[in-house]
Structure 1
Amino acid sequence: MSILPTKEPKFMWNLNSQKKMKMINVAIVDDHKILTEGLQSLLEDSGIAKVVGVAHSASECRLSLGFWKPDVLLLDVGLPDINGLDFCKEIKEQFPEIKVLALTTHNEYAIVRQMLDNGASGYLIKNAMADEVLAGIQAVAYGEIFLCHEVDLLMKRPSEKNIWLSPRERELLRLISEGLTNTEIAEQIFLSPETIRGYRKNLLLKLGAKNTAVLVKMAIEQKLI
């Protein structure tokens, strides 16, 4: 079964076509303050949306989301306190009317697929142009599914395509396959256990593995180590 919606994703939206529509209320959840400030300026100057709230973690967002009542929530995948994929599912269960639009650096097939499966209405990469961000917000606010151009191309490729891992990720995968703990790996490659935990989580996401055992099995089968 395809994870993509039956409707063709909208990745270009006429910003002038909705001039008479109501202002779109947007909330932002991202731990990078420079980014959130830039997004606030972009949206406030756009004339199509206004920012009703900003949070830098999922816990901050939980406290205020019911009060903000945004039409669209811009959500990063890599939050400091919870995986954005899981948080998206949580939000949609509690506030099904809120449209979640992922805005992240992650451009892996497995992550995009899971984000959409968990209820997101769209997916943007952080290198997207300002017009594409605004188009995405408008599209999901009015019930469309939006994939930025880069992600739209990604999702049309065969799902069995080769997975690219950085040298650091391959090294970590090798150490995980040897049964080392996060602390033991951290000592070997001179990083903190918390950093290793983040790397491990990203590897699970990137390969679409449910747990470490599946991760190691996939790594061996796909000759990643």
Structure 2
Amino acid sequence: MNKHNIIIAVVDDHPIVIQGIVSLLAKYKNIQIAGTFNTGRDFMSFLPNNHIDVVLLDIMLPDDNGIDLCREIKIISSGTFVIALSNHTERGMILKMLQNGASGYILKNASVDEIINCIYAAVSGNIAFSDEIKAIIARPSLPELKGSPQLTKREKEVLQLVAQGKTTTTIADELFLSPLTVETHRKNLMKKFEAGNSIELVNLAKQHLIIKQNPD
């Protein structure tokens, strides 16, 4: 694909971000904004009946995990290039986005030149990063390269409640388990994540997108 008539969609739950991107891209005659969307579901309803060359996709949406959504987009429209749009700089998150089929990753503070260059690189079949992301990708991180630990359904339930700051007794009551069983799950989770304490456990789980980050 050449650089002519690139049809773009922007998916972000912050109107000011969308407005800024649309404004930045407006001066490029070969770029056409086909639509802007505040939720993942709105975009997924639009995509099957509309041709999109590039989607600038927020990682954290109110109704969707952008990394999972990226996989869905590529299944429905394999020819659509997905470029992540985020404030998050965790290397593990960037790698997961790429593993799910993304063609690039841009920070929201990227310059217009960086955004345009990434769009052109993506439609040319290359992987594209804003400058700061290039530096992050260049730094190897063994824990992130190992991938996400495999958790049971019950471990995920316990982990979510731990992330909410709930005590062992409260978790036991909510899940109809004994406190000893909850503690066993907690210990297994810490072992799988190689975490030293509950705070580290939660932070690692957020990096792996097993539990939700705070919205960006």
Secondary structure at the residue paired with 2:166? Answer: helix
The AA in structure 2 aligned to 1:29 is: V
Deviations 1:86-125 (A, max 9, x none): 0001111111110001111111010000000000001101
Q: Which runs of 5+ in 1 are unaligned?
A: 1-17, 163-175, 186-211
**Change over 3 Å in CA distance of 1:215–1:33 after alignment to 2:** farther
Partner of 1:206: none
Contact 2:57–2:82 (Cα < 8 Å) also in 1? yes
Structure 2: which amino acid aligns with 1:141? V
Per-residue deviation, 1:145: 1.1
Task: Deviation per CA, 1:158-194: give whole Å up to 9, x if none.
Answer: 21389xxxxxxxxxxxxx88x7473737xxxxxxxxx
Q: Which of 44, 49, 64 pairs up with 2:31?
A: 49
* Partner residue, 1:70: 52
Question: What's the TM-score, normalizing by structure 2?
Answer: 0.69
Distance 1:180 1:140, change over 3 A: closer
Aligned counterpart for 2:128 among listed residues 146, 158, 164: 146
Q: Which moved more, 1:39-48 or 1:67-76?
A: 39-48
> Does the 8 Å contact 1:30/1:55 carry over to 2?
yes
Contact kept, 8 Å, 2:25 with 2:31, in 1: the verdict is yes
1:112 partner letter: I
* Counterpart check, 1:60 vs 2:10: no
Give the Cα separation in 2 of the matches to 1:102 and 1:119. Answer: 11
CA 1:217/1:146 → structure 2, altered by over 3 Å: closer, same or farther? closer
Determine which structure has greater relative contact order: mean sequence separation of CA pairs < 8 Å that are 6+ residues apart, divided by chain length: 1
> Percent identity, aligned pairs only?
33
> How far, CA to CA, are the matches of 1:32 and 1:136 in structure 2?
21
In 1, the alpha carbon distance for the partners of 2:163 and 2:102 equals 33
Q: Partner amino acid for 2:101? A: G
**Within 2, Cα distance between the matches of 1:93 and 1:40?**
26
In structure 2, distance between residues paired with 1:184 and 1:32: 30
TM-score norm. by structure 1 comes to 0.66
Match of 1:127 among 91, 104, 109: 109
Contact 1:27 / 1:68 at 8 angstroms: preserved in 2?
no
Q: Is the 8 A contact 1:30 1:76 kept in 2?
A: yes
CA contact (8 A) 1:30 1:57 kept: yes
* CA distance 1:161–1:59, shift in 2 (3 Å): closer
Matches within 5 A, 1:107-186: 107-160=89-142, 180=162, 182=164, 184=166
- Label 1:145 to 1:24 Cα distance change in 2 as closer, same or farther (>3 A): same
Post-superposition Cα deviations, 1:104-162, rounded to whole Å, max 9, x if no partner, equal 11110100000000000011011111110111111101211111111111111121389
Paired residues in the alignment total 166
Q: State the SS of the aligned residue for 1:91.
A: helix
The higher radius of gyration belongs to 2
Aligned with residue 14 of structure 2, among 18, 29, 32: 32
